[in-house]
Amino acid sequence: MQDNFYEKFGKRLFDLTVSFAGLVVLSPVFLVITLLIKLTDKGPVFFKQTRMGECFKPFMLIKFRSMVVNADKIGLAITTKEDPRITGIGRFLRKTKLDELPQLFNVLKGEMSFVGPRPEVAKYVELFRDEYREILKVKPGITDFATIEFRDEEGILNKYDKPDDGYCREILPRKIELYKKYIKEKSFLTDVKLILLTLREIVR
């Protein structure tokens, strides 16, 4: 009963409160990162990319730009650690996960939640559409079990001669298992646990 109430009302209230507070408290960090990007690399501060949201509804995911302009048009949709498209400041942002901060806007708008399956681009969703019928019954999130297990995904992809094939054959199927695990176990306590685990990994 409590988990039902949390899913219907509490989760959204939590997302709204924390995303708004986070944007206010972290505004100086946003300003510093904006200046660093502008001073070290020409182009927009934010990177926006269409991802598949709840019920297959597309939305624009927002990140601090960590790669060269139009990187999504000159390479793969995934990124390896040695990807030449990553900018100097971008390497720092990706390593510290600071590039993910603008997703607080996605959470505030109701397109994402703090905890939930990570949103994918349409290309990969279509490859596993039947699996995603279940996964996209919930809002995508900033973190989940897969985010923690694949915290060094770029390093893992470096092991493959063809990163895109490796992602489709091994990494994404494992992520899908973890997405389903979250859906099966989702609750207030699970969300708190995942947020704490994510913060621990960031500190590490």
Q: Are strands 46-52 and 113-115 parallel, antiparallel or unpaired?
A: unpaired
Question: What total of structural domains would you count in the chain?
Answer: 1
The larger pLDDT score, comparing residue 59 to residue 72, is at 59
Q: Are strands 141-143 and 58-64 parallel, antiparallel or unpaired?
A: unpaired
For the whole model, what pTM was predicted?
A: 0.89
Residues 15 and 196: their CA atoms lie apart, in Å, by 15
Provide the residue range defining the domain that includes 165: 2-203
**Residue 14 backbone phi and psi in degrees, to 5:** -60, -45
pLDDT tens digits along 124-183: 999 999 999 999 999 999 999 999 999 889 888 888 889 899 999 999 999 999 999 999
For residue 2, the model assigns a pLDDT of: 53
Span 2-11, mean pLDDT?
Answer: 74
